[in-house]
Amino acid sequence: AAGVIQSPRHLIKEKRETATLKCYPIPRHDTVYWYQQGPGQDPQFLISFYEKMQSDKGSIPDRFSAQQFSDYHSELNMSSLELGDSALYFCASSFLAGALTEAFFGQGTRLTVV
């Protein structure tokens, strides 16, 4: 079965640079969630989109922005990167219109800021 696809899997950036993470949800899923997980930490919810509109917002820094496109894929844009942004970034998707709120996660993007 198709799963959530994230790219790239690994990314190394320097401080103050910009990074773009991509997420392709499971086909027919209408909702995308972004999480940040630091070393030894639980996943922290950043932002979610339902039907291409922002549906919920968590602890996303102002330096970050995200959107969901017409084909339901989503991109997380991160600017002015800081060392503390180094983390695993997970995308998850679900099918809310079908009242199925289970979220399935992608393999994650490991971002290292140096």
Q: Print the binding letters for residues 25-64 with other proteins: x by CB under 8 A, - otherwise.
A: --------x-x------xxxx--x-------x-x------
Q: Segment 2-31, which members bind other proteins (CB under 8 A)?
A: none
Nearer of residues 40 and 84 to other proteins, judged by Cβ:
40
Q: Report how far residue 102's alpha carbon sits from residue 96's, in angstroms, rounded to the nearest whole number.
A: 9
Kindly tell me which of 14 and 102 has the beta carbon lying closer to other proteins. Answer: 102
| 98 contributes a contact to other proteins by CB under 8 A | no
